[in-house]
Amino acid sequence: MRRYHVTTFGCQMNVHDSERIKGMLEAAGLGEAPDRDEADVLVFNTCTIREKADDRLVQHLHDARGRKDRDPDLQVVVAGCWAESQREAIFKDFPWVDAAVGPGRISSLGDAMRADGERRGAFGSFDDFAADLPQRRERNFQAWLQLSMGCNSVCSYCIVPSVRGRERSRHPREVLAEARSLAVDGVVELMLLGQNVNSYGRDLPPAERCTFAEMLRGVDAIDGISRIRFMSPHPKDMRGDVIAAMAESDAVCEQLHLPLQSGSSRILKRMRRTYDQGRYLDLVGRLRHAMPDIALTTDVIVGFPGETEQDFQDTLDVYEAVGFDHAFTFIYSPRNGTEAAGFEDQVPDAVKHERLERLVDVVQRHAAARNAALVGTVQEVLSEGPSRTDPHVSRGKTRGNKTALFTPAAAAGTTVQVRIEETTSQTVRGTVESPVPA
Ligand code: SF4
């Protein structure tokens, strides 16, 4: 049996697409190889959000070429955003690549792998949502549920709209049917996905329109789904109806990833984020008013062009005021093809690194404090199986999306109540209070 290996870069949308790619390859009779060295088909599902991701991928492709020189039957396949961004050059610059598909053409992967010449590439026009394709889920009790694709925003640093195209929402009937069938399959936790997930539905014809808030309530009503999360929302679309739906839907977890990017209104304007510091803080206030225990995480970019010490201080001030549970922190790196790459007032690298270090200290301090505040509380934890280091300890996620370690161990997919006894900035640890179902 020929065997495949998929390497996934980037966001959750790619993780989801990779599950579809694996499902399609298995439906075609291939098995999964434990690592790249043992595979006959190497698939790279790529990201192009940062220059560093591109460099890493190119290195992988050169390694694949070395293998292909020794084994000409090896197939090298590239999918995802980087493939789309290189559509004009990929087969010229990397002639050992056998097939390439953009993120909107995942369902054409099989045809591209069987084709010759130009038809080895499928880019641009959007085939359809990958929902009807077979999929190989990593866990049988958790699933991704794609609501939309593409993005209509014009953030000045972001390449996504040019590779994933304008926003297209899936028909609500289709989304809910998939959610119901996943629940019947034993899925209890759904992650709703979209590049800008909470603007879902606005592009649908008026007769079929369904808002993101209505979608949250619709999924919440499905028997068997006890946890709903979503990625990535945009603060501009986090309106009152969405906050109410979150607060009133039992299954929607008390957790939100709300990208800040910068705390400076001046920089936010240059980023074209369409909110300012005041609006963001007001939104956090409304979220906490509706859900006092909500865990908030965020993304922050440091060193955006023109960022002064005062702008950076504004970011630190917002971070302190909100007291996020955690953050993904990034150093701004110019992306070819974006507006911000052409800004002349780029921040020197040394300044960017020094600011990042200061930000990370603040992030860690708040993460430790937010977790420490959970000591003595009882948290619902969905077990994901044994911890990486000790089979007698289980690892899972709280509703607030904290990584929890607990004893006695509980089977993957089991929900338990855990009393939290100790914490670090990364994890919470405790003992199961409720009996663990056999
Ligand atoms: S909202 Fe902005 S950062 Fe997010 S995908 Fe769209 S353009 Fe990129």
**Is the minimum distance from the CB of 196 to ligand 1 under 6 angstroms?**
yes
- The answer, yes or no, to whether residue 128 has pLDDT greater than 80, is no
Q: Is the CB of 234 under 6 A from ligand 1?
A: yes
Residue-wise burial string across 53-65, b where 16 or more C-beta atoms lie within 10 A, e elsewhere: bbebbeebbeebe
Ligand 1: nearest atom to the Cα of 151: 6
300-333 pLDDT per residue, tens: 999 999 999 999 999 999 999 999 999 999 999 9
Q: How do residues 371-389 score in pLDDT, each as one tens digit?
A: 999 999 999 999 999 999 9
- Residue labelled with tokens 């002349």: 344
> Is pLDDT at 30 greater than 80 in this prediction?
yes
Contact 335, 306 (CB under 8 A): no
Evaluate if residue 149 carries a pLDDT over 60: yes
Give me ligand 1 centre to Cα 215, in Å.
21
Give me ligand 1 centre to Cα 341, in Å: 15
How far apart (Å, rounded) are the C-alpha atoms in residues 386 and 366?
A: 28
Q: What angle do helix axes 349-372 and 309-322 make, rounded to 10 degrees? A: 10
Region 251-255 average pLDDT: 98
Q: Which CATH architecture has domain 138-253?
A: 2-Layer Sandwich (3.30)
Q: Please name the fold of domain 255-373.
A: Transcription Regulator spoIIAA (3.30.750)
pLDDT at 53 over 80: no
Q: Where are the beta strands (DSSP E) in 373-424?
A: 378-386, 394-398, 403-407, 415-423
- Mean pLDDT over each residue of the chain, to the nearest integer: 93
Domain boundaries, the chain: 3-122, 138-253, 255-373, 378-432
- The reply to whether domains 3-122 and 378-432 share a CATH topology is no
Give the model confidence (pLDDT) of 227-241 as tens digits: 999 999 999 999 999
Instruction: Quote the pLDDT of residue 56.
Output: 87
Fold category of 378-432 in CATH: OB fold (Dihydrolipoamide Acetyltransferase, E2P) (2.40.50)
Our answer on whether the CB atom of 151 is closer than 6 Å to any ligand 1 atom is yes
Residue 162: CB atoms within 10 A of its CB come to 15
Residue 208 CB burial class (10 angstroms; 0-12, 13-18, ≥19)? exposed
Q: Whose CA is nearest to atom 2 of ligand 1?
A: 155
155 in contact with ligand 1, CB cutoff 6 A:
yes
Q: Is 158 in the pocket of ligand 1 (CB under 6 A)?
A: yes
Q: What residues contact 412, with CB distance under 8 A and at least 6 apart?
A: 139, 141, 383, 384, 385
Tens of pLDDT, residues 58-86: 999 999 999 999 999 999 999 998 998 88
Does the beta carbon of 160 lie inside 6 Å of ligand 1?
A: yes
What are the C-alpha distances in Å from 276 to residues 46, 325, 428? 32, 21, 33
Site to substitute for ligand 1 among 81, 157, 158, most atoms within 8 A of C-beta: 158
- The answer to whether residue 436 scores a pLDDT higher than 60 is no
Nearest atom, ligand 1, residue 152 CA:
6
- Residue 232 alpha carbon, nearest atom of ligand 1: 4
Answer for the pair 26, 32: CB distance below 8 angstroms, yes or no. Answer: yes
- Closest by Cα among 53, 73, 251 to 44: 53
Fold of the 3-122 domain: Rossmann fold (3.40.50)
Cα 161 to ligand 1 centroid, rounded to whole Å = 7
- Give phi and psi for 46, each to the nearest 5: -105, 165
**Residue 273 C-alpha to ligand 1 middle, in angstroms?**
8
**Which residue's alpha carbon is nearest to atom 1 within ligand 1?**
153
Q: Does the CB atom of residue 195 touch ligand 1 within 6 A?
A: yes
